[in-house]
Amino acid sequence: MDLDNLATRIVLGFGLVIALGQACAGCSAEAREPAVTIENAPERPVLLPDRVTPPAAVPVPTVAILAEPNTCDPLILRESAEGPVLSKRLPAWLKSPRAAAAQRDQVRKIIAIVGDELGADAMAIDLLYRKAISESSANPGSVHVHGPDVDAGVAFASYGREHTSERWSDARVPVFVLVDGELEQARTVRGNPATYDAWALGRGLYGMVSPLYVPRYWSADAPPWSLCDPVVATVVAIWSARKGQAQCKSDSMRAAYRWLSAGTCREREPDKERRFDRLARGHVRGLELPRVDPRSRVDFGDRWPMETADRVELLAKLRTRIAREAS
């Protein structure tokens, strides 16, 4: 079996994970399914939920120096009774309530600073924070290996490869194994180098599908793991939300959540609408946040327009502010 076939089987294995929910995101408040083994992968990808709309070509700037390091959670190959299963290793701080609370506080500050710089109001910032908690437990390095993000990653990986620069078109990420509790990069899986198609994953605070969001909203010369940078992810989420508000012709919190979660303006199935209702009531991953009105107006601002913003200048300014204000 050659490497491409192996990667395809791993990716398609995840394609069996069918869940109802989410769009730009995908592994949290929405329903999850267990990991699927490599052995029972289908011959072709499953049909996507209606949560993702294939993007039209968008003239996103090419910024050659946006080669962010891969800070995403490592992918782990685990043995099971059914065969090898791909999962991820969670950061240690998630196991400590005190550390997790500190992480949430830091992420809230980052979202607030990015939102303020781009002109977003308090309600928009609050919605993004709730979304980050529900999608990733405020883990910027989250790699979404379950749920509908996997389906979207499989279906749109080719879009990412086609719309990025040549140096990222074949981007792959390593796969690890656990040896005595420590990560060790897997050299081979059944005779093939153990790597995974980097474009076939959802990533970051908001669980955005890398092949759609990186080249479409950020840069045609940025690697797929750029979304594991919480600053980049939040900028991209705001730019996407602006597009959604224009397309949906609505500035309500519910409409913004629909767009960020499903890439759609129309009302979703009742169970999916109820997920937002719970989030609006403040029930987010065991947290009790203040209740908000789903009809509340949210404004994602108009500063630093996606079409013209200098990504390098914007990142530099935001990181300077975060270093000064979020410490």
pLDDT given for residue 191 in this prediction = 57
For the purposes of burial, counting CB atoms within 10 Å of the CB of 67, is it exposed (0-12), middle (13-18) or buried (19 or more)? middle
Token pair of 94, please? 């998630």
The tokens describing 163, both together, are: 């719309």
Give the mean model confidence (pLDDT) for residues 208-233. Answer: 92
Q: pLDDT-based confidence at 27, cuts 50/70/90?
A: very low
| Band of pLDDT at residue 67, cut at 50, 70 and 90 | low
Q: Among 89-98, 275-284, 316-325, whose mean pLDDT is lowest?
A: 275-284
Helices (H), 185-264: 210-213, 230-248, 253-262
**Which amino acid type is present at position 200?**
A
Per-residue DSSP letter, 45: P
Give, in order, the Cα–Cα distances in Å from 147 to each of 2, 23, 196, 202, 279.
27, 10, 18, 10, 19
* pTM listed for this prediction: 0.77
Place of tokens 């509790």: 181
Q: What is the pLDDT of residue 190?
A: 58
| pLDDT at residue 44, as a whole number | 26
Model confidence band, residue 19 (pLDDT cutoffs 50, 70, 90): very low
Say whether pLDDT at 100 is over 70. Answer: yes
Residue 138 has pLDDT above 70, yes or no: yes
- What average pLDDT does this structure show over 22-40? 35
- Average pLDDT of the residues of the chain: 77
254 vs 275: CA distance, rounded Å: 11
C-alpha dihedral over 5, 11, 12, 17, to 10 degrees? 160
- Answer whether 135's CB lies under 8 Å from 111's CB: no
Percent of the chain with pLDDT over 90: 36
Position 319 scores a pLDDT of 93
Query: What letter would DSSP give residue 217?
Result: I
Domain ranges of the chain: 3-325
Find all residues with CB under 8 Å of 94, minimum gap 6, and list them: 100, 137, 139
pLDDT band at 186 (very low <50, low <70, confident <90, very high): confident
For tokens 């980049």, the residue is 232
236-248: average pLDDT: 93
Q: DSSP readout, 11-38?
A: HHHHHT------SS--SSSS-------S
Across 204-225, average pLDDT: 92
Residue found under tokens 């891969």: 70
Mean pLDDT of 117-136: 94
**Most confident among 14-23, 188-197, 256-265 (mean pLDDT):** 256-265
Pairs from 70-74 (Cβ < 8 Å, separation ≥ 24): 70/173, 70/223, 70/225, 70/228, 71/140, 71/141, 71/225, 71/228, 71/229, 72/141, 72/142, 72/143, 72/173, 72/201, 72/203, 72/225, 72/228, 73/139, 73/141, 73/142, 73/143, 74/174, 74/176, 74/183
Confidence of residue 277 (pLDDT cuts 50, 70, 90): confident
**pLDDT at residue number 299:** 96
Does residue 187 or residue 189 have the better pLDDT? 187
pLDDT computed for residue 7 by the predictor: 43
Judged against a pLDDT cut of 80, whether residue 118 lies above it is answered with yes
Task: Centre a 10 Å sphere on the Cβ of residue 198 and count the other Cβ atoms it contains.
Answer: 23
Q: What is the pLDDT of residue 306?
A: 94
Token pair listed for 234: 């939040």
Q: Which of 44-48, 57-61, 209-213 has the lowest mean pLDDT?
A: 44-48
On whether the CB atoms of residues 39 and 86 are closer than 8 A, the answer is: no
The residue with greater pLDDT, 268 or 69, is 69
- Counted residue by residue, the chain has a size of 327
Query: Which sign does the torsion angle of CA 178, 184, 187, 192 carry?
Result: positive
pLDDT category, 149, cuts 50, 70, 90? low
